[in-house]
Amino acid sequence: MLQERGSSQKDEHEFLWEQNLYRVNIVGSAPGWEDAPNDNGYVWAVNNVHLLRDVDLIIDVHSNRINPDIKKDQVHMKVLKSKQIPTYAMDEIEGSTHVKKYPLDEIIEEFDTDYFGCGIDYMIALAIYLGAKEIHIYGVWLALESEYAHQKPTVEFWLGIAKGRGIKVRVHGKKSQIMRTPSGMMYGFHLPQKWVEKYNPDQYELLVEDLGKTAEKYRKKMADREEECRAIMRGEKEFESTDSIESS
């Protein structure tokens, strides 16, 4: 936990909270950002999501995003300054006490990796680093057919680190592809993942029905092979090479 890292580390991040961190709601910009609760944990937003809703922390690692000289970012900067929202960026902004440099060196040293593919990765890593007990993801789809598909492996890597450290991880939203297989099925066992039952009950019923048909097909094929083996052993049939048993 945060207090276990020593007073100097706590003081460094004191501008964020007056109490210990427990639940972090990480919010992306895809639909679903509005579902993250403001009354249950801290809301950490990526980039300029703070223009859409109230947030407790912003993490923006785009070098040109927090730049008062860029016209399109003037609203972004104006809101940051007026609300004094705690922000982690690539560099500090002179005269802004609420904008701090993201502790990249400390994070890399802690986890012994620099595997970062998107802003969400930095948010998850920081939540783990500061001792979060729960990490909830909202508004982050990473659909395989989208431009964000390449970010899916790194986000799942960091969530794996979190789960490996005993942190509760929950991904919210019907369309999110985080920790979800393309088919919604577990490889080999052909069992539907839990998210399918929660968000797509109709699809879940079809998958269960198909699973039953597949299992029955497999049982029948196995029974036929068993009877064939017995016939060979009784000398009633000669052995012939056959195709391998298929599971689907």
Q: How many other CB atoms are found less than 10 A from the CB of residue 158?
A: 25
Same domain assignment for residues 50 and 75: yes
Per-residue confidence (pLDDT) for residue 47, from 0 to 100: 83
Same domain assignment for residues 115 and 68: yes
Same domain assignment for residues 143 and 62: yes
Q: Which two tokens mark 221?
A: 């094929």
Q: Which domain covers residue 133, as residue numbers? A: 2-180
Q: Which of 180, 205, 232 lies at the terminal end of a domain, its last residue? A: 180
Per-residue confidence (pLDDT) for residue 189, from 0 to 100: 80
Same domain assignment for residues 176 and 188: no
Backbone φ, ψ for residue 33 (5° rounding): -60, -30
Q: CA 196 to CA 240: how far, in whole Å?
A: 42
- In the DSSP assignment, the letter for residue 181 is -
Give the residue ranges of the chain where pLDDT is below 50.
Answer: 1-8, 10, 17-19, 244-248
Per-residue confidence (pLDDT) for residue 185, from 0 to 100: 84
Q: Which of 130, 146, 180 lies at the terminal end of a domain, its last residue? A: 180
Range 131-150 burial, b when 16+ CB lie within 10 A, else e: bbbbbbbbbbbbeeeeebee
Same domain assignment for residues 173 and 188: no
Same domain assignment for residues 175 and 188: no
Per-residue confidence (pLDDT) for residue 191, from 0 to 100: 81
Q: CA 3 to CA 22: how far, in whole Å?
A: 12
Q: CA 73 to CA 84: how far, in whole Å?
A: 16
Same domain assignment for residues 63 and 139: yes
Same domain assignment for residues 103 and 187: no
Domains in the chain, number: 2
Q: Using alpha carbons only, how large is the chain's radius of gyration in Å?
A: 25
Same domain assignment for residues 198 and 175: no
Per-residue confidence (pLDDT) for residue 139, from 0 to 100: 94
Q: Which of 138, 156, 180 lies at the terminal end of a domain, its last residue? A: 180
Nearest-5° angle of CA 33, CA 157, CA 147?
55
Region of 243 please: left (phi>0), alpha (psi -120 to 50) or beta. beta
Per-residue confidence (pLDDT) for residue 10, from 0 to 100: 47
Q: Which two tokens mark 52?
A: 């859409």
Q: CA 32 to CA 52: how far, in whole Å?
A: 12
Threshold 0.85, pTM exceeds:
no
Backbone φ, ψ for residue 20 (5° rounding): -70, 150
Same domain assignment for residues 72 and 97: yes
